[in-house]
């Protein structure tokens, strides 16, 4: 989705803002059907952490992929999977043994290889002084958000997952709104809101409909992802869930880049894909 937005220079912050609104409405619907508001301190606290992580990581990721490309951004931020994985092992006593440990190691290592081709393509880009502090900040945000999801699972009462997801998206919406209001200072060549939908070809009305559909699709994807994550953490150790989810994301994004945008990958990238698939098999046997 982010690759499509970047390639067509669409109004990124309109789409991502709508994404959080749709995510909030989806989570609210889930909560109503699940029995209504059920919360305790961990549910609210870690939900706020997750929501802030979502919105701020989206902003930081945009600043990065405008300068070094989506592949590098995805790779660097998803390297932070080591944070919740280690936290699950050390803080929540979910030990890795044998083939499971080998599989997780392969998954983590594969992330760097899968993103290698995009990094080579943008090697001539001159990076501003704030680039590496931003990378460190994004890794910290990602690690905090995912570790918070594991902490919520361990410290909260079973059945609070819908409320947790509602709190997360309720936190992300106002942050995304502020970002949307100042987006002309962040997104280059952004037209006024009245004409922002007219990027690309076709009528402004049709393009506005495209932006809305993308925002809705993005929102459905995100609320589903977070919902499945917290449900999976109830049944599967975080030392398995986080590497599997992250490596699958990077692998899928790389495959999509090859199929839809004809991005070509070198041998090390293919090797990374094989490592990811092997790792997924090892942690599931």
Inform me whether the pLDDT recorded for 58 exceeds 80.
Answer: yes
pLDDT of 127 reads 57
d(CA 45, CA 109): 32
The model's pLDDT over 191-225, given as tens digits with 9 standing for 90+, comes to 544 444 444 445 667 777 878 888 899 899 899 98
pLDDT of 206 reads 72
- Model-level pTM? 0.78
Q: How many helices (H) and strands (E) does the chain have?
A: 12, 0
Inform me whether the pLDDT recorded for 157 exceeds 60.
Answer: yes
Chain centroid, CA 124 distance in Å = 26
Q: The tokens of 73 are what?
A: 């951004």
Inform me whether the pLDDT recorded for 153 exceeds 70.
Answer: yes
pLDDT of 52 reads 93
Burial environment of residue 188 by CB neighbours within 10 A (0 to 12, 13 to 18, 19 or more): exposed
Inform me whether the pLDDT recorded for 53 exceeds 70.
Answer: yes
Per the model's pLDDT, the better-predicted residue between 48 and 275 turns out to be 48
Inform me whether the pLDDT recorded for 90 exceeds 90.
Answer: no
Q: For residue 280, what are the CA distances in angstroms to 87, 101, 179, 224?
A: 20, 11, 37, 21
pLDDT of 169 reads 97
40 near 156, Cβ under 8 Å?
A: yes
């Amino acid at each position: 989705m982010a690759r499509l937005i970047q390639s067509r220079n669409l109004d990124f912050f309109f789409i991502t803002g709508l994404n959080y609104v749709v995510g909030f409405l989806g989570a609210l619907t889930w909560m109503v059907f699940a029995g209504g508001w059920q919360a305790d301190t961990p549910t609210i606290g870690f939900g706020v952490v997750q929501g802030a992580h979502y919105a701020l990581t989206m902003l930081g990721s945009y600043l990065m992929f405008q300068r070094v490309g989506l592949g590098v951004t995805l790779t660097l931020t998803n390297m932070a999977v080591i944070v919740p994985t280690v936290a699950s092992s050390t803080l929540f006593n979910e030990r890795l043994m044998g083939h499971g440990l080998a599989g997780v190691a392969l998954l983590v290592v594969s992330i760097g290889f899968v993103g290698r081709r995009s990094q080579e393509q943008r090697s001539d880009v001159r990076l501003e002084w704030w680039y590496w502090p931003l990378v460190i900040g994004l890794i910290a945000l990602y690690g905090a958000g995912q570790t918070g999801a594991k902490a919520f699972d361990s410290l909260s009462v079973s059945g609070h997952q819908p409320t947790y997801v509602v709190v997360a998206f309720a936190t992300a919406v106002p942050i995304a709104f502020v970002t949307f209001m100042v987006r002309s200072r962040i997104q280059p060549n952004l037209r006024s809101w009245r004409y922002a939908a007219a990027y690309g070809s076709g009528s402004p009305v049709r393009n506005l409909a495209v932006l809305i559909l993308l925002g809705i699709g993005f929102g459905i994807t995100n609320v589903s992802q977070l919902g499945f994550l917290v449900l999976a953490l109830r049944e599967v150790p975080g030392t398995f869930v986080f590497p599997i989810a992250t490596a699958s994301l990077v692998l899928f994004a790389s495959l999509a880049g090859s199929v839809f945008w004809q991005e070509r990958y070198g041998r090390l990238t293919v090797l990374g894909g094989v490592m990811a698939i092997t790792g997924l098999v090892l942690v599931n046997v």
